[in-house]
């Protein structure tokens, strides 16, 4: 089937024709595509068109599509069984790798998605502290869990919809929202509610309002104020974990949270999430403690072997300087093309993550991110797609590079982007 047939049939049986809203391309216009194959740094749609891929399945594919070691491990495991519902050796191996690589984690619990990880982390924080309030940042997205969908980024920001339909007001009121990179707002919130705040959750490098780096000392400030008030600090490293450094953003910035949420890269392309922390906190999770969480497919062997092979490759290869150089080259190349065209823009980059904003303002929080010209972004996206370059179909997301992107892929991508910019 071709793209049009697949999308037409999808609309008959899936809400909006998709299983995740941003895939419908409503924010960028044009017809959505259906992908049928990926190899290395490229993907192909159902019409046979090739794209250089900077979407990377929204971040997980740090080794590129169909990495041979990951595919081989998955193929071998599939023939042994897809799921057992009891402990298997691969989840133990993956847990050891997480504990080895992530500075703050001594024990970890696997789940099936980033949303499950953040939901479980918040429940754990409330169980440990006996408190009810959660502090989050405007524009940060932590999955579609009720308490965390308030003032969220990602698809909620993309479509400009409220994040609370379907969420009882009583639950939404327990989430306190402050601007990112704003110390004064955080201090005021803790002065008013500090004794009742169970946790502060943050993307240490937000990627769901677009990439927004933390200002110097901001993460350390969050560590200090949460410790002062007896509040647990949760780092949502679903995007940044194993991507910005072997130990994630907490290694890169030298700040250790109480609880870490992981996903995306952790599963190497399979559905995997996790939350972890010190032994004292994690001992409160059932069956050791009273905070309940469970999952039939959690730790299933196929997902676990994909994660094991991915993390082993990252641990042994440590490709982070290489990834940083690739993204630096791509971002500088794009910036040069837009500058030559006289188009106002701002590119935020941290390691192998970047976002292009069509604004002349510094982007340091969600308010400034929203000054980007989303209509121009939509035109840019469609021109890139026409020229065989795939980026996220949303202004408020991150581009990614992988170890599979070679110099010639970056060269070819910049040539294609150059053609797209000329057509704007």
Active site amino acids: 141, 236, 264
Q: How far is it, in rounded angstroms, from Cα 378 to Cα 74?
A: 37
Distance of CA 424 to CAs 48, 323, 375, 411, Å? 25, 29, 12, 20
Which residue in 43, 28, 93 sits closest to 269, CA to CA?
Answer: 43
Token pair 């502090």 is found at: 135
Task: Pick the closest to residue 155 from 138, 175, 141 (CA basis).
Answer: 141
* Structural Rg of the chain based on CA atoms: 21
Select from 282, 312, 288, 289 the least CA-distant residue to 107: 282
Q: How far is 110 from 136, CA to CA, in rounded Å?
A: 23
Torsion of CA 114, 118, 121, 127, to 10 degrees: -140
**In 10 A of CB 154, how many CB atoms?**
26
Alpha helices in 267-373 (DSSP H): 279-282, 301-317, 320-341, 366-369
Residues 345 and 336: their CA atoms lie apart, in Å, by: 10
Q: Are residues 224 and 369 in contact, defined by beta-carbon separation less than 8 angstroms?
A: no
């Amino acid at each position: 089937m071709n793209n049009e047939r697949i999308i037409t049939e999808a609309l008959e049986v899936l809400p909006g024709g998709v299983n995740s809203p941003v895939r419908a391309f409503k924010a960028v216009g044009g017809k959505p595509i259906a992908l049928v194959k990926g190899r290395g740094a490229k993907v192909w749609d159902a019409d046979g068109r090739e794209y250089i891929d900077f979407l990377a399945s929204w971040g997980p594919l740090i080794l590129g599509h169909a990495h041979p070691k990951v595919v081989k491990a998955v193929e071998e495991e599939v023939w042994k069984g897809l799921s057992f519902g009891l402990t298997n050796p691969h989840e133990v191996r993956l847990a050891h790798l997480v504990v080895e690589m992530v500075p703050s984690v001594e024990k970890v619990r696997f789940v099936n998605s980033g949303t499950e990880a953040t939901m479980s982390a918040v429940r754990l924080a409330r169980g440990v502290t006996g408190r009810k309030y959660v502090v989050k940042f405007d524009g940060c997205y932590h999955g579609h869990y009720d308490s965390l969908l308030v003032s969220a980024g990602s698809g909620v920001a993309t479509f400009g919809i409220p994040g609370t339909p379907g969420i009882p007001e009583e639950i939404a009121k327990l989430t306190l929202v402050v601007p990112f990179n704003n110390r004064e707002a955080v201090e005021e919130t803790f002065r008013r509610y500090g004794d009742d705040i169970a946790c502060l959750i943050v993307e240490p490098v937000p990627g769901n309002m677009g990439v927004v780096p933390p200002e110097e000392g901001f993460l350390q400030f969050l560590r200090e104020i949460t410790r002062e008030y007896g509040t647990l600090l949760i780092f949502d490293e679903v995007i940044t974990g194993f991507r910005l450094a072997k130990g994630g953003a907490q290694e890169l910035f030298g700040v250790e949270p109480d609880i870490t949420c992981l996903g995306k890269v952790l599963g190497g392309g399979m559905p995997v999430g996790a939350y972890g922390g010190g032994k004292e906190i994690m001992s409160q999770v059932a069956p050791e403690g009273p905070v309940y969480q469970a999952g039939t497919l959690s730790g299933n062997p196929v997902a676990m072997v994909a994660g094991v092979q991915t993390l082993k490759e990252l641990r042994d290869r440590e490709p982070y300087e290489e990834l940083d150089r690739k993204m630096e080259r791509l971002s500088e190349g794009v910036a040069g093309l837009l500058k030559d065209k006289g188009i106002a823009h701002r590119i935020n980059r941290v390691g192998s993550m970047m976002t292009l904003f069509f604004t002349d303002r510094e982007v340091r929080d969600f308010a400034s991110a929203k000054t980007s010209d989303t209509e121009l972004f939509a035109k840019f996206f469609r021109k890139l797609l026409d020229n065989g370059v795939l980026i996220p179909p949303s202004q408020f997301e991150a581009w990614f590079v992988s170890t599979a992107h070679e110099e010639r892929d970056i060269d070819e991508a910049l040539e294609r982007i150059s053609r797209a910019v000329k057509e704007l």
